[in-house]
Amino acid sequence: MKKAFLFLAAALLCLSAFGEECWSDRFHFDGSEITEESFLLMPTDPLNYSTALAEGEPRSLTVTVKDKDVPNISASLFERHSERAKDGKVFWNYTDKAYSGFPAEDTYLLTETVESDVETKTFTRSVTILPEPLAVAIIAILGFFCLRGRSRGLFIVLAVSALGVFGGRIEPLVSDVRCQQNTPFDRSVTIKYKLFSDYPDPRFEVKFYGTYNGGSEFDLSEYGTLSRDGAEGFTYGSGEHRTLWTPSRFFDYTVTDDMKIKVEAVENNQPTNTYMVIDLSGGTNAAKFAVSYRAYEPPGGWTEEYKTTKLVLRLVQPGTFIMGSPVNEVGRHDYVWMVETQHQVTLTKPFYVGVFEVTQKQYELIMGSNPSWYVGEARPVEQVSYEMIRGSEKGAEWPSNGEVDDNTFFGILRSKTGKAFDLPTEAQWEYACRAGTTTALNSGKNLSDENECQEANEVGRYFGNEGWELGHAIVGSYLPNAWGLYDMHGNVYEWCLDWFKRDLGADSVTDPVGASTDSYRAMRGGAWGSGVAMMLRSAARDKQKPADHYWYNGLRVVLVL
């Protein structure tokens, strides 16, 4: 019996230490509709408090702790505020724990009163005092000498598990879920929880579930709105996180003291160098452009700065794919000057590729001028020729060498970063565009019509969705592919490194570089002025002379590792 109990206790503690979900304590929830302005005093950790007073300058903070069952057990703390922060919040700092000396494993009422020169606000919540790690260690040592034989070994497992849970040596993935309705002025509930990972820049997929009055679990996102951290189903970084849940009208008349919320998390990490970011904000006056890396795109997506003053590229791993299109693909036509024969291509080197086409602001920060016809900082740069990008001397010698002229776009970008940025080859472009798909479009769909169709409308700007009237679109306006790359279909044609080759052949090839010489360079992706949807296909090919600089010619940056 003793062994069975120890096994069960050890298993429960281990699950507590390594579990991927965690419930909050029960809390009071009042779903009644409230119209008064919200005010809430939020603890950031056991020692620091912050608040944003509705009116007046803060003067003092009083914290009172009372035992729920024994009213005469109480303590109070008074401390003046520190300086008001820039965001309007005031931080309160003190060194003594108001609940020190209280019995552990008991729940107390913590009342916080904030006074300003014109108002006083009070906020009450429940706190539970946990046993000290030292106490757990002492119990483990005493228990060890009270047992014999195999039971002693089992107790070691139990003690180690307990120390992991209470001593912080073994961190659970999800822990310390605390919930508080922002009453009496708000129906929303603040969910605070801690996430832990040994990974340096962790990414967590998170879900939130609730229950009340002993009922079944429900997904919070289906019965209300999630906002702030984790609201989109993922969050970043170890430490404390906060999510706000605003319940739907389904809860308008629900009042309960038995509300609980569960946070469920799974780690889904990527290499820390998934994205490369080049800071162009110094413009032509900058001696160097700083290069940094990040594991994930920012919460909420790429902001305007990543389309203007910063240049972001995504790491693409090497692999094998089928280049070209099947003969029955809607929109494919074999021309005298071009065919799309399917063949196997293997790329052996990883490379970074621009998440967006190079925009006008980015081009101007590098070159000092903007040649575009349709002006807009976050629109793709156009009217750029192959020679403007790489040069007409050294830059014209590809594939015999990869050098570029010094005064060109890539010449300056290379000199200010120390990295050999360039255009993609045709094979690299199509590999990045497809992102694992084999369909005509990288959305996983084929065309329903070769001239104009909804499938093409979803992925890029072209003649069929107002391209002729409006010109190109702000980069990132349409659906990205599976690797998070935007506008691989439409917007502007993108130059490739290769001399154009009419037929790339049916043989399997490795790291192809196109024709050895020709009069035209390859272009990919279609453009806002493309009259038909078939020119947006992943396999569609086109060509232009290196000196051509039309208002639909643009580029995307690549760096081969």
Compute the distance between CA of residue 282 and CA of residue 305 in angstroms, rounded to an integer. 13
Name the amino acid, one letter, at 308: T
pLDDT band at residue 17 under the 50/70/90 scheme: very low
Asked if 208 contacts 219 with a C-beta cutoff of 8 angstroms, the reply is yes
E strand or H helix at 522, and its extent? Answer: strand 521-524
| CB-based burial, 415-452: b 16+ in 10 Å, e otherwise | ebbeeebbbbbbbbbbbbbbbebebbbbbebbbeebeb
Helix runs in 178-288, H state only: none
Name the amino acid, one letter, at 413: L
| Nearest by Cα to 494 from 428, 405, 406 | 428
pLDDT at 79 > cutoff 50: no
Asked if 345 contacts 326 with a C-beta cutoff of 8 angstroms, the reply is no
Q: Which residue has the tokens 């008064």?
A: 36
pLDDT at 125 > cutoff 60: no
Domain boundaries, the chain: 2-8+131-167, 9-130+172-267, 275-560
- pLDDT tens for each residue of 429-438: 999 999 999 9
Find all residues with CB under 8 Å of 205, minimum gap 6, and list them: 233, 234, 265, 266, 267, 268
For the ranges 287-301, 361-375, 470-484, which has the lowest average pLDDT?
Answer: 287-301
- What burial class does residue 57 get, using C-beta atoms within 10 Å of its C-beta: 0-12 exposed, 13-18 middle, 19+ buried? exposed
| Mean pLDDT in residue range 393-418 | 97
Helix runs in 95-225, H state only: 133-146, 149-167
E strand or H helix at 2, and its extent? Answer: helix 2-18
Output the CA–CA distances (angstroms, integers) from residue 56 to 87, 88, 114, 381, in the order listed.
Answer: 15, 11, 11, 50
Q: What is the pLDDT of residue 166?
A: 41
Q: What is the mean pLDDT of the chain?
A: 80
Asked if 516 contacts 499 with a C-beta cutoff of 8 angstroms, the reply is yes
Output the CA–CA distances (angstroms, integers) from residue 133 to 108, 161, 377, in the order listed.
Answer: 20, 12, 57
SS3 3: helix
pLDDT at 71 > cutoff 80: no
Find all residues with CB under 8 Å of 31, minimum gap 6, and list them: 187, 247, 251, 252, 253, 254, 255
pLDDT band at residue 254 under the 50/70/90 scheme: confident
pLDDT band at residue 231 under the 50/70/90 scheme: confident
pLDDT band at residue 530 under the 50/70/90 scheme: confident
pTM score > 0.75 for this model?
A: no
pLDDT at 85 > cutoff 90: no
pLDDT at 161 > cutoff 60: no
pLDDT at 72 > cutoff 90: no
- pLDDT tens for each residue of 20-47: 789 999 988 877 653 332 222 233 333 3
Q: Tokens standing for 540?
A: 């569609």
Asked if 260 contacts 28 with a C-beta cutoff of 8 angstroms, the reply is no
Question: What's the N-to-C CA distance of the chain in angstroms?
Answer: 62
pLDDT at 199 > cutoff 70: yes
Q: What is the pLDDT of residue 182?
A: 77
Q: Measure CA 488 to chain center.
A: 21
CATH 3.20.20.70 fits 275-560, yes or no: no
SS3 459: helix
| Nearest by Cα to 58 from 137, 112, 106 | 112
Beta-carbon-side half-sphere exposure of residue 316 (alpha carbons within 13 Å): 32
| More confident call, 274 vs 84 | 274
Give the DSSP letter of residue 298: P
Beta-carbon-side half-sphere exposure of residue 468 (alpha carbons within 13 Å): 5
| More confident call, 126 vs 281 | 281
Name the amino acid, one letter, at 535: M
Torsion sign, CA atoms 338, 344, 346, 347:
positive
| Nearest by Cα to 296 from 207, 204, 187, 389 | 204
Q: What is the pLDDT of residue 107?
A: 57
- What burial class does residue 189 get, using C-beta atoms within 10 Å of its C-beta: 0-12 exposed, 13-18 middle, 19+ buried? buried
| Mean pLDDT in residue range 4-18 | 40
Output the CA–CA distances (angstroms, integers) from residue 439 to 340, 506, 558, in the order listed.
Answer: 14, 19, 24
Q: What is the pLDDT of residue 44?
A: 33
| Mean pLDDT in residue range 437-459 | 95
| CB-based burial, 536-561: b 16+ in 10 Å, e otherwise | bbbbbbbbbebebbebbbbbbbbbbe
